[in-house]
Structure 1
Amino acid sequence: MTSTSATDSSAAKTVVLYCPTGTVSIGGGAYLTGALGQATIRQITPTTVLGRNALVVIGAEDSDGYSGTWHVTATNVCIPIPAGFRYVRVTASDPSLVWATAECAGQRIIGSGYTVSPTAKAMATGIEIDVRNRAYLSVEPSNVPGAVTPITGTVTAVCADSGLPGMVQTSASTPQDSSNPQTVTVTCPAGTQIIHIGGDLWRVRGHSVIDDFRIIQPDKVAVTGYEDELGNPDVWATEAYATCAT
């Protein structure tokens, strides 16, 4: 399911997408239109809202704001309730760098979500379906003046008693250079479709932000990094991760 917020100049925008009865959210994607590099996706979290399962997405401007109009579009991935379904959440705080992981002990990870504090940036988020069996989140403070520290990040692992059929991960990255923006797409293997999207900024990434975790098609995702308003003359790159299942 996909929905879009209002298009205006408000500093933060929230989209809540409810799952159909009998299904639960295992995560989803989101992307911004407008305010590119001057707003971030502060939250993509599967949760319960007023007794109903949903995905909550928040886009927010950086610490010195943005005068133009923009909006956030979100996509929720819902599946029939699997055996042993639960959310495991871990929160961490630090003045300069947060690394948080949430493990599905005794179970399998099938999705994830995250939330970061105001003026913080999610620099990497995703799931590892190998022996690490966990969700992860890397958070840094905005380098735009007025950013607040310490920063906080909460990562959510979506756990179940067994993995989804045919689960597999694939990834791709942009070249390491100083171009702006940097977009990379990943397509699922034949016969599978997207169940989770993750992404990462790396190398000299301090003045870059992820504006798009976009589910383009049932079997394709794109992750886009933009330089912030101060610019990033250094070498950096964007990486996208697709978790797929039959």
Structure 2
Amino acid sequence: MYVRRNGAGRTRRIATTAGLASAALLVTQLALVAPASAVPGLMLKVTGGPSNSDWKTTNAQCPVGTTVLGGGGRIVSDNGNGQVTMDTMLPLFGGGGYSVTGREDGNGFGGDWSITTSALCAPEAAGLETRTQLSDNNSNVGKTMDVECPPGKKVLGLGADMSGGMGRVVIDDLRPSADLTKITVAGMEDGGPDYLDNWTMVGKAICATPPAGLVRVTGFGTLDSNTPKTAVARCPEGKRVHGVGGEIDNGQGEVRMTAMWANSSTTVTVTGAEEEGGYGNSWAVKAYAICA
């Protein structure tokens, strides 16, 4: 287990995509009206990257004097549902922002696509630190692990990386626990031919002394075989989003998360889509908002 202070065998599941195209860099910043119980100075920064057919990373940078509390992203494409995966969703080293990397699946995707990344930023919260856990480096089809916060601290944000997966390993579960004392990360190889290379799963929990009124809110999607589908988690009245999580339920590696992001100051949206070959079983998406 690594601790960084911020100045900042077989089962299958997951994937990545949404709609809109963007060739130029788009940066917007929205200051959140923070109630007394929220982290003071909380703001949402959203960055859109270039649209092409290359694997790519888009970073949402926090303003000077602030550090990242949480973040997420989405794949933006006209027809890429299920063929592009977000295999890295992590806070930047030093807490300067949030980073999302997307890659096409094993047989590629002929269209252009881009990544929109969101970062939730604020002046450094009390007791803020990032805890990092690594899985074994091997070729197992699926891996799951927990990353715990120290006693007395709670999860504000979270992230994961499927290092070495090269688009064939997807983030299946990036979930804060109900009591916000830990996160669960799960990675799965996709539904294509067996992926023989070794890969490592990295999980990061952004922990802090909990602000008043900190809660996890869950948004449930429908359990059926339709694709794509979306779940939305909304903060209770008077609370704002501080962190983002998502999950594909029973995707078996043939459903990909195409969005897991704070699309407003009070909502988290998670979208899933089946691979282009389809998936015959019922599945669902879940969205998690960490609110205060």
Q: 1:120 maps to what in 2?
A: 169
Q: Is residue 98–residue 151 contact of structure 1 (8 Å, CA) maintained in 2? A: no
Alpha-carbon shift at residue 104 of structure 1 (Å):
1.1
Post-superposition Cα deviations, 1:46-92, rounded to whole Å, max 9, x if no partner, equal 1226xx72211111111221121111101111121123221111011
Q: Distance in 1 between matches of 2:188 and 2:46?
A: 28
Q: 2:51 maps to what in 1?
A: 7
**Matches of residues 82-231 of structure 1 in structure 2 within 5 Å?**
82-93=125-136, 94=138, 95-106=140-151, 107-117=153-163, 118=166, 119-128=168-177, 130=179, 133-145=181-193, 147-160=195-208, 162-231=209-278
Percent of pairs with identical residues: 26
Q: Is residue 13–residue 60 contact of structure 1 (8 Å, CA) maintained in 2? A: yes
Q: Structure 1: any 5+ residue segments left out of the alignment? A: none
**Aligned pair 1:71/2:147, yes or no?**
no
Q: Distance in 2 between matches of 1:28 and 1:65?
A: 27
Post-superposition Cα deviations, 1:93-141, rounded to whole Å, max 9, x if no partner, equal 35111112111122322211111132210111021251x6112211001
Structure of greater relative contact order (alpha carbons < 8 Å, 6+ residues apart): 2
TM-score by length of 2: 0.77
Equivalent AA in structure 1 for residue 170 of structure 2: K
Question: When you count strand as a share of all residues, which structure comes out higher?
Answer: 1
Q: Distance in 1 between matches of 2:178 and 2:150?
A: 12
Q: Tell me the matched-pair count.
A: 240
Equivalent AA in structure 2 for residue 78 of structure 1: C
Q: CA RMSD in A?
A: 1.7
Q: Distance in 1 between matches of 2:229 and 2:116?
A: 19
User: Once structures 1 and 2 are overlaid, which stretch shifts more, 143-152 or 186-195?
Assistant: 143-152
Equivalent AA in structure 2 for residue 138 of structure 1: A
Paired residue for 2:84, among 34, 39, 49? 39
* Structure 1 pair 148–62 and aligned structure 2 pair: CA distance change class (3 A): farther
Alpha-carbon shift at residue 188 of structure 1 (Å):
0.7
Q: Structure 2: any 5+ residue segments left out of the alignment? A: 1-44
**What SS is found at the alignment partner of 1:217?**
coil
Alpha-carbon shift at residue 146 of structure 1 (Å):
6.8
